[in-house]
Amino acid sequence: MGRRLIVGTTIDRVDDKSLTENSAAANRTSLWGGRFAGGPSEALARLSVSVQFDWRLAPYDIAGSRAHARVLAGAGLLDPEELGRILAALDDLEAACASGTFRPTVDDEDVHTALERGLLERLGSLGGKLRAGRSRNDQVATDLRLYLRDHARGVAARLVELAEALVEQAGRHVDTAAPGMTHLQHAQPVTFGHWLLAHVQPLLRDLERLRDWDHRTAVSPLGAGALAGSGLPLDPGAVSKELGFRTSFANSMDAVADRDFVAEFLFVTAMIGVHLSRLGEEVVLWTSQEFGWVELDDAFATGSSIMPQKKNADIAELARGKSGRLVGGLVAVLTMLKGLPMTYDRDMQEDKEPAFDAVDTLELLLPALAGMISTMTVRVDRLVAAAPVGFSLATEVADWLVRKGVPFRDAHEITGKLVALCAARDCALDEVSDADLATVSEHLDPSVRDVLSVRSALAARITPGSTGPGPVADQLATAADQLTTWRNWTAESVVPR
């Protein structure tokens, strides 16, 4: 049975008190410095430090270290006793990181430096053996792939929950009529269940995107070293296998230069953000006085500090608003990567915050949206009353004429005239007299009224994927099945142990 490597603690600021507490400047661990006369300037140190945000990679870095230690032992570069001590120290360090007894200090440039310090504290000079054949360049690429693969499953699990909430609401409204819209104008009646399921399909595609992305991301960079591979007899395939990757890198230079997986992850999260913003916008509309289609549960709505009567859909608005930072993260990483020469460049340190922020944002937002959707009350009376408003049954008249052999072009024209007549008289399509029908067109007769009900319009839509109650029930069952399959995927663990 595998495990999920989700680290409990994150550190937001490098001047966080907890960071400085165990700072021991005298024992400063650096992964470089042999050729330097003095330490880094304060300004450089402050600029380049990344441990305040990359500390969350710690469990993945430790998993990589375990795999690397075994490979060094396999190559005869560690004896079995040394390997045993290193693995025990890594276990101990991992537990200390998880409990918070080991924390990074301000002097640790990044997560890799902090963990090397932790290992040196436990093993003395033996701890320094683990760096052979490895560079932070292949390490950080490996850690970030593992982190994102792991958290992609977490995001996917939350997406499944939102989709399930939508499916559950849809199940209550398989035959609730609603005014379907284009251009935000009443167009044709639909069932509200169909409408809710229209928000499920994008989420199913997002889940598929995450899984496709995961396949391409499951390539281990470890063994690429700084850029050239290793002169030591390492075994990238064995490391890849131990870390749950599909395969290892084909080109050591690409292995450390590639951040496609970050940009692509951020595309998927931006796309998710855009989908959530569209759902959010609809809930904002539905809950307005003007629509009044939906009432939010008190636990998922907010009030106003000055207007006692207010009930606002803040979750829906935050869904709309947070799409901005998700799209921004994608743009930031693509722009950072553009024009970078081979291979690793320090610019690439800028890949992490947008990626972490995308994960954090969705992990916050999705449960709130799921709760809002599953607890909202749909005002069926208001929806049903709105469904035929705005001559939304006009297409039924045109189709009725087509069934009688009238070319659609003429049918469209005739129906347009009927609509104009009704608009002038301020009446509904089925309220026109028999005589008036005949004046509009010789092809119209009173039996056209048979198709002038929302119910009959919906019932006529029986082809797969249409809005009629029958196909909606089929769609509902299929979506529920697919979500069960996705749920299983999200439970898979990335790093076997």
Binding residues (CB under 6 A) for ligand ARG: these are 50, 54, 110, 136-137, 140, 344, 346, 348-349
| Minimum distance, C-beta of residue 376 to ligand ARG, in the bound complex (Å) | 42
Which CB, 158 or 259, lies closer to ligand ARG?
259
Extract the tokens encoding 366. Answer: 């999705």
The amino acid that residue 484 corresponds to is T
Which CB, 110 or 150, lies closer to ligand ARG?
110
Per DSSP, the residues of 279-341 read: HHHHHHHHTSTTT--EE--GGG-B--SS-TT--B-HHHHHHHHHHHHHHHHHHHHHHHHTTPP
| Minimum distance, C-beta of residue 354 to ligand ARG, in the bound complex (Å) | 13
Give yes or no: 304 in active site. Answer: yes
Helices (H), 100-219: 111-123, 136-172, 192-217
Q: Kindly name the residue from 18, 48, 288, 304 that is annotated as catalytic.
A: 304
- Rounded CA gap, 310 and 372, in Å? 17
Which CB, 350 or 436, lies closer to ligand ARG?
350
Task: Report the Cα 73 to chain-centroid distance in Å.
Answer: 39
| Minimum distance, C-beta of residue 285 to ligand ARG, in the bound complex (Å) | 43
Q: Which of 140, 138, 120, 121 has the alpha carbon at shortest distance from 130?
A: 120
Which CB, 226 or 368, lies closer to ligand ARG?
226
| Minimum distance, C-beta of residue 346 to ligand ARG, in the bound complex (Å) | 6
| Minimum distance, C-beta of residue 467 to ligand ARG, in the bound complex (Å) | 50
| Minimum distance, C-beta of residue 394 to ligand ARG, in the bound complex (Å) | 60
The amino acid that residue 284 corresponds to is V
Which CB, 31 or 157, lies closer to ligand ARG?
31
Cis ω before 343 (30° cut-off from 0): yes
Which CB, 349 or 493, lies closer to ligand ARG?
349
Q: What per-residue string of b and e applies to 330-367 under the rule 16 or more CB within 10 Å gives b? A: bebbeebbeeeeebbeeebbbbbbbbbbbbebbeebbe
Q: Which of 96, 117, 95, 98 has the alpha carbon at shortest distance from 106?
A: 117
Burial class (CB in 10 A: 0-12, 13-18, 19+), 307: exposed
Q: Kindly name the residue from 41, 125, 183, 305 that is annotated as catalytic.
A: 183
Give yes or no: 447 in active site. Answer: no
State the catalytic residues. Answer: 183, 304
